């Protein structure tokens, strides 16, 4: 049993490490753009992290519901639960996107003093980053929900490779390409993050809906 838990847990831990490393690398690239850009990035990440807690909670619910359905051998129940948590995640992401787009200056100002010398420069950079953070909410929530569903059916190894590929082979190079080669600056770095997480969301959801869900055994009719 300990070995089985270890085999399930190590890929989950490495997936989390890979995602944390993605954000650490993006912060390093933001530092290359200057202190004000880095500070604005920190504010955008903090706001995105606060709202992401809802998606993380839904991801945990997805794990529980998927595990429950797996134990019951009820793929239809699993599919209903998956649809429900996905819809809730998308709905909350839509609300968050509206908030980030409509009130970016008010949200950024929470982290600043009114007499901050570079206030206008902070706001100019931060508003653009918060716009990207709004889009980031949708793809990050989608990949988090997919990871939760896959973990519920004890599918962790292949999703680890999918996520790592998306974060480091797609996300980081895209951040560097758009941020520095194409000259988009901080917005380009965030666009790379969105690209990597979006790639992960597509791969992981395809894994769950196209492969894993179809492999869930059904209980005999008299046990349903």
C-alpha to C-alpha distance for 36 and 119, rounded to whole angstroms: 10
Alpha-carbon 59 to chain mean position = 10
Q: Residues with Cβ < 8 Å from 191, sequence gap 6 or more?
A: 132, 174, 175, 178, 179, 184
Both tokens of 76, joined, read: 């239809």
pLDDT at site 55: 96
Q: Residues with Cβ < 8 Å from 167, sequence gap 6 or more?
A: 18, 19, 21, 22, 196, 197, 200
C-alpha to C-alpha distance for 209 and 4, rounded to whole angstroms: 24
pLDDT at site 220: 72
**Counting runs of H as helices and runs of E as strands, what totals does the chain give?**
8, 0
Contact 144, 154 (CB under 8 A): no
pLDDT tens-place string over residues 144-189 = 999 999 999 999 999 999 999 999 999 999 999 999 999 999 999 9
Q: DSSP states of 134-170 as a string?
A: HHHHHHHHHHHHHHHHHHHTT--HHHHHHHHIIIIII
Global pTM?
A: 0.91
pLDDT tens-place string over residues 116-126 = 777 788 888 88
- Total Cβ atoms within 10 A of residue 223: 9
Q: What is the DSSP letter of 110?
A: T
pLDDT at site 45: 92
Contact 175, 204 (CB under 8 A): no
List the chain domain ranges: 16-214
Parts of the chain with a pLDDT under 50: 224
């Amino acid at each position: 049993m300990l070995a089985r838990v270890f085999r399930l847990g190590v890929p989950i831990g490495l997936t989390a490490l890979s995602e944390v490393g993605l954000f650490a690398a993006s912060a390093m690239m933001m530092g290359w753009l200057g202190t004000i850009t880095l500070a604005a990035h920190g504010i955008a990440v903090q706001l995105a992290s606060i709202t992401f807690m809802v998606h993380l909670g839904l991801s945990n619910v997805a794990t529980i519901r998927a595990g429950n359905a797996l134990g019951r051998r009820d793929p239809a129940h699993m599919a209903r639960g998956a649809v429900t948590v996905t819809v809730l995640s998308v709905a909350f992401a839509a609300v968050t996107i509206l908030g980030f787009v409509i009130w970016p200056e008010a949200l950024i100002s929470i982290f600043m003093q009114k007499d901050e010398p570079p206030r206008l420069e902070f706001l100019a950079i931060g508003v653009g980053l918060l716009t990207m953070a709004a889009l980031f909410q949708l793809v990050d929530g989608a990949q988090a929900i997919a990871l939760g569903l896959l973990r519920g059916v004890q599918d962790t190894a292949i999703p680890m490779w999918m996520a790592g590929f998306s974060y480091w082979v797609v996300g980081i190079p895209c951040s560097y390409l758009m941020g520095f080669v194409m000259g988009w600056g901080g917005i380009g770095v965030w666009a790379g993050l969105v690209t990597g997480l979006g790639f992960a969301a597509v791969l992981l959801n395809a894994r769950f809906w196209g492969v894993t869900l179809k492999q869930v055994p059904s209980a005999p009719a008299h046990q349903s």
